[in-house]
Structure 1
Amino acid sequence: MKITFLLFTLTHFLIADLGNRYQVDDEVQVPVALKKYIPKGFEALEMAKGDLNRDAYPDVILILKKRGEEKTSDVNDHPEKRPLLILLGQADKSYKLAARSDNSVYCVDCGGQMGDPFTGVTIKNGYFSVEHYGGSGQRWTRIVTFKYSPAEKNWFLFKDGGERFHATAPEELKTEVKTAKNFGKISFQQFDIYKEEK
């Protein structure tokens, strides 16, 4: 009983910290070379560096948000989309826009009572993952991972999954992960996080 209570308490504080961590509007410092890719009325939500296409040059993922999105986004009728840009590093240290998707990152109010569900993006050796966490009494995570295909010079959905649990029973996790065996071949540009997969 004590172990269960301790687990619940630790999970509660971890979740509270996670929620608070991503609701602080720390300004993302965008290098001058990348600012030209940010459309008027938008600003950077997140920037991550890594190897996206398995070459010798560092690449960048830039996730944008509309200024004032928390006042204009309505998840049911018109969510304010958050563009995700894949910018590939070039030999001259400039960047080239390789791909864009407006449907890979949940909107600011898509997380329910937990607030903004976006928690971050990670890049590793040709893979990148977009991570979310939300819910109210029923909590959920969703991690969507894409993999680079050198032959097609594009990124394809590799895994889509997460965990569900109730706030009062965090140890009772339900995990579901789908792969290409479930959803087939979906390019980064075709993927739609708002669409419920059957």
Structure 2
Amino acid sequence: MDPKEPLKEAISDSNVFSQSTNGFSKVRKLLLKSAINYLTDPRLQFSANVDQKLFLARKGLNRDEIDLAYEIATELISKQNISDSFFHSNHSSSFLSKYSQIILKILLCSGTLYFGYLFYTKKYKNLFKVKLNQSDDAEEEQRSLNEMTVALYKLNEQIQKLNSSFETIKEFYTQYGLSNQEQCERF
């Protein structure tokens, strides 16, 4: 369907042109057609109505023709908005577009996570690793300190056993009156 078709029908049905002669009617129809095109231009739709009416009056349209152009333009704009929303709703409900939107969202999320992970590994992982290594070093130092304490305790027990053995040997020598020289000669 041609988007200008309602424009042609509205202009041909209007009673504004029935009062004038044929040549004059064609000029007025062309003026009205250009006024409607001007009013339906999407770049100019949000300009002030007063400015639009003044522009159309300067171009030679009378008040009735300007009002008629406004009526036809508002109908055309509302029909275009309805057809646009219908097109978008049909388009968005198609099978492939739904899945393509889901896939695009998944790709966007996964890409964001991937680049976040890369950024983390390049910039911040080493900072956290140093802190973790310091805590690991502290734990390892604590373990080695505990092991050293246990080893020192065992060594202390061994030293005490040796001391008690030496005391026993010393008592044995003192009881039998042996001196160090005599013992060395025996062996």
What TM-score do you get using the length of structure 2 for normalisation? 0.17
Higher relative strand content: 1
**Greater Rg by CA:** 2
What TM-score do you get using the length of structure 1 for normalisation? 0.16
